[in-house]
């Protein structure tokens, strides 16, 4: 049975997120983009509205929602500003492995306080020289009595400068590649934890992105989330869940660009008529609409599979690859429809185009997504060897 009608509860979530986006995010989006500063006040309000804790079960103080529910929320928040949305979203990336794999003690110590007071968490996988190939990471976590000694620097850490704790992936032995990777929950107040200055970026400038350095940090053994042979897989499983949430953010960005392009095309007159009357413009608008619809449906399917507890790596990668390409194309075409006006800082479409670019890069590049899809396809037909 296939149905595309949202439930009354999902419609209410969508409406709540849309109102938040229009009343809290949109009015400040341009300012934070310009300044490149962090919208802490928006984060606090978003946390208060439950947008930081959607997947945390109610017994720990969270919203107890599913992945698809959260995608419905995410599209609305990202439609206001992708940089602000991604700063809200990233806690879910860091928290999901604790929800899914954490011990009861870890859930009590980390999930409950996270829900009851304004907090942030970050996911630390990438390094300066390690992006698409996390199995080759250099950060080490060496057992030391009942602790781990953590050393290394993680890079491109969203909310790195604000996180109360980090979910860190490190290796016990770089020679073991993916089999040596473990995962630790690292409170930011531990001695030896520090972060760099915010990185000045092309787009999504409201999000805080830093390097985070761990120098001889003694992490208690009870903060081990995933041991040897498990850390890498758990990192990948988390990304399967969160890639739809990024894909649907791309849908939100593209949707806003399309809405702005439609408004502009209706009012901008050339050759005596609004440019929306010209077929060249109509075709661009039609392509935007069909691609956005397709991206949303791919994303919803990947999210729905996750909610069924089904393997969704291929569909999550399809959604992320397709939606991020759509966002790039639609925002570029929106700038094209605005013409010279679109290339100035007077109109918001240039921001959307800058914001779209990194969606093809972070959370798995467009090329890695195709690799994941192809590997799974070939696996389904018995492999290639």
Q: Which residues bind ligand COS (CB under 6 A)?
A: 123, 125-126, 132-135, 178, 232-233, 236-237, 239-240, 313, 362-364, 368, 371-372
Least distance from ligand COS to the Cβ atom of residue 355, Å: 17
Nearer to ligand COS (CB atom), residue 49 or residue 207: 207
| CA gap 80, 164 in Å, rounded | 26
HSE (CB half, 13 Å, CA atoms) of 362? 28
Residue 23: how many other CB atoms lie within 10 Å: 11
Catalytic residue among 75, 76, 315, 363: 363
Question: How far apart are the C-alpha atoms of 304 and 157, rounded to whole Å?
Answer: 28
Instruction: Select 138 or 233, whichever has its Cβ closest to ligand COS.
Output: 233
| Residue among 116 and 132 whose Cβ is closer to ligand COS | 132
Q: How far is the CB of 365 from ligand COS (least distance, A)?
A: 7
Minimal distance in Å, beta carbon 358 to ligand COS?
11
Closer Cβ to ligand COS, 125 or 284, answer by number: 125
Active site residue 363: yes
The number of residues making up the chain comes to 385
The nearer residue to ligand COS, 135 or 366, going by C-beta atoms, is 135
State whether residue 124 is helix, strand or coil. strand
Q: How far apart are CA 31 and CA 45, in angstroms?
A: 17
Q: Which is nearer to ligand COS, 338 or 362 (CB)?
A: 362
Q: How far is the CB of 20 from ligand COS (least distance, A)?
A: 24
CA distances 353 to 71, 88, 103, 151, 343, Å, are: 21, 20, 42, 37, 10
User: What is the C-alpha separation between 38 and 159, in angstroms, rounded?
Assistant: 9
In the complex, which residue's CB is closest to ligand COS? 364
Q: Count other Cβ atoms within 10 Å, centred on residue 117.
A: 10
Please, what is the minimum distance in Å from the beta carbon of residue 362 to ligand COS? 6
Q: Where are the beta strands (DSSP E) in 117-262?
A: 121-124, 140-144, 147-158, 165-171, 181-187, 193-195, 209-220, 224-226
Helices (H) and strands (E) in the chain, counts: 12, 10
Residue in this structure with the two tokens 């830093």, named with its chain if needed: 210
Beta bridge pairs of residue 157: 210
Q: How far is the CB of 125 from ligand COS (least distance, A)?
A: 4
Q: Which residues are catalytic?
A: 363
């Amino acid at each position: 049975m296939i149905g595309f009608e949202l439930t009354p509860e999902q419609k209410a979530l969508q409406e709540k997120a849309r109102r938040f986006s229009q009343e809290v995010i949109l009015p400040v989006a341009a300012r934070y983009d310009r300044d490149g500063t962090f919208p802490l006040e928006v984060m606090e309000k978003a946390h208060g509205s439950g947008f930081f804790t959607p997947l945390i079960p109610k017994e720990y103080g969270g919203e107890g929602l599913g992945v698809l529910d959260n995608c419905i929320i995410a599209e609305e928040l990202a439609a206001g500003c992708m940089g602000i949305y991604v700063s809200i979203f990233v806690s879910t990336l860091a928290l999901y492995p604790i929800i899914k794999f954490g011990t009861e003690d870890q859930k009590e110590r980390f999930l409950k306080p996270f829900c009851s007071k304004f907090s942030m968490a970050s996911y630390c996988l990438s390094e300066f020289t390690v992006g698409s190939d996390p199995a080759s990471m250099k950060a080490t976590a060496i057992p030391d009595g009942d602790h781990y000694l953590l050393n290394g620097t993680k890079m491109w850490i969203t909310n790195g400068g604000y996180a109360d704790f980090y979910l860190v992936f490190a290796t016990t032995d770089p020679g073991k590649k993916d089999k040596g990777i473990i995962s630790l929950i690292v409170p930011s107040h531990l001695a030896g934890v520090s972060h760099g200055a915010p990185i000045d970026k092309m787009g999504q400038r409201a999000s805080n992105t830093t390097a985070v350095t761990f120098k001889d940090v003694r992490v208690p053994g009870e903060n081990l989330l995933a041991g040897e042979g498990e850390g890498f897989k758990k990192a990948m499983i988390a990304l399967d869940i969160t890639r739809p949430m990024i894909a649907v953010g791309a849908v939100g960005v593209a949707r806003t660009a399309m809405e702005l392009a439609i408004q502009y095309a209706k009012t901008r007159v050339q050759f005596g008529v609004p440019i929306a009357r010209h077929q060249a413009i109509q075709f661009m608008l039609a392509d935007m609409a069909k691609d956005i619809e397709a991206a949303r449906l791919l994303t919803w399917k990947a999210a729905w599979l996750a909610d069924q507890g089904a393997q969704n790596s291929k569909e999550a990668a399809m959604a992320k690859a397709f939606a991020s390409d759509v966002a790039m194309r639609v925002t570029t075409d929106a700038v094209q429809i605005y013409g010279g006006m679109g290339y100035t800082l007077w109109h918001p479409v240039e921001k959307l185009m800058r914001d779209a670019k990194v969606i093809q890069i972070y959370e798995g590049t467009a090329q890695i997504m195709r690799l994941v899809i192809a590997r799974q396809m070939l696996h389904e037909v018995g492999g290639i060897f």
